Amino acid sequence: MREFIAVTKALADENRVRVLMALRHGELCACQIQELLQLAPSTTSKHMQILYQARMVESRKVGRWVHYRLPEPVPGWEFITESLDWLERNLKDTSIIQADDERLKSLRAKNRQELCP
Amino acid sequence: MREFIAVTKALADENRVRVLMALRHGELCACQIQELLQLAPSTTSKHMQILYQARMVESRKVGRWVHYRLPEPVPGWEFITESLDWLERNLKDTSIIQADDERLKSLRAKNRQELCP
DNA sequence: ACTAGATTTCGACTATTGACGAATCAACGA
DNA sequence: TCGTTGATTCGTCAATAGTCGAAATCTAGT
């Protein structure tokens, strides 16, 4: 129950929901997430920490850069992937997410070089 | 998106999740919910208000008594019933909910008379 | 070792939220 | 009408949460 509530609390913020929706297209670097959300680096880091602790994202470090992605399905933790499916089904056509998806195209293309050199 | 976040915020509290799980067995009166949660009447009322405004519960008034129940499915609001299904699938076997279910048996039986005379 | 860049941690501030008791409102019965 | 009861609203407090800038940490290159 405690882990479940950690997930529901993680979902109770629009910026974090936007991050999860962005990650459904594939891994993103912390700098790309920060650029997407237009938040301070520290705020972005704090949000990612909450998602990480709720096991809603996984991360790997490449040099200075941290890449986040959605988690692999794990037996016993189906409620996490189910919640992510629930987000996708219901939010993929909303204007905020579609605007984010649009911006993500350029963010993913060019900012691999400019944002994460 | 705003309504969706209202739902995720409503889910971000254990007591409110417990209420929703309790309501899956059928309608409850405010006094029964209050008894189940062991919270002050004002706190209980505030929680139910949050659930009501997120459209996660419906209510009807009978004299002094207010009865709450889970909402009927409404086209365009599938994310609500989907969230409730998500709760049920993943929490019905947890100890907190099972303990609640046990207490609900007596609450539903006797307290129709003692709690809501 | 020094510099630069990315990220995290820290501290402060503001906003939000959960909890309570008191006050208020609505309904009911004498 | 008045007193009682159930529920809601209001006000207060403490805790939590989102945000920022500064500082610290980590990594890489020279």
Give domain status of residue A69, yes or no. Answer: yes
Number of structural domains, chain A?
1
Q: Do A78 and B90 touch (CB under 8 A)?
A: yes
Confidence of residue B110 (pLDDT cuts 50, 70, 90): low
* Beta carbons within 10 angstroms of residue A14's beta carbon: 16
Give domain status of residue A25, yes or no. Answer: yes
* ipTM (interface predicted TM): 0.92
pLDDT beyond 80 at B47:
yes
Q: Which residues of A touch B80 (CB under 8 A)?
A: none
Q: Do A94 and B1 touch (CB under 8 A)?
A: yes
Which domain CATH number covers B44? 1.10.10.10
Q: Which residues, including other chains, have CB under 8 Å from residue B94's CB and lie 6 or more apart?
A: A1, A4
Cβ-Cβ pairs closer than 8 A, A with B, add up to 58
pLDDT at residue B106, as a whole number:
86
Give domain status of residue A117, yes or no. Answer: no
The per-residue pLDDT for range B20-32, each reduced to its tens digit, is 999 999 999 999 9
pLDDT at residue A112, as a whole number:
55
Question: Which structural domain, as residue segments, surrounds residue B43?
Answer: 2-114
pLDDT at residue B108, as a whole number:
82
| A31: amino acid identity, one letter | C
CA distance B56 to A10: 19
Find the mean pLDDT for residues A66-77: 95
Residue in chain B nearest A9 by alpha carbon: B12
What's the CA angle centered on A83, arms B101 and B85, to 5 degrees? 40
pLDDT at residue B1, as a whole number:
92
pLDDT at residue A117, as a whole number:
41
pLDDT at residue B107, as a whole number:
87
The per-residue pLDDT for range B70-82, each reduced to its tens digit, is 999 999 999 999 9
Q: Which residue is nearest to nucleotide C6 (CA to C1')?
A: A64
Among partner residues B5, B11, B13, which is closest to A14 by beta-carbon distance? B5
- How far, in Å, is the CA of B26 from the C1' of nucleotide D23? 55
Residue in chain B nearest A81 by alpha carbon: B86
CA distance B4 to A91: 8
* CB B113 under 7 Å to nucleic chain D: no
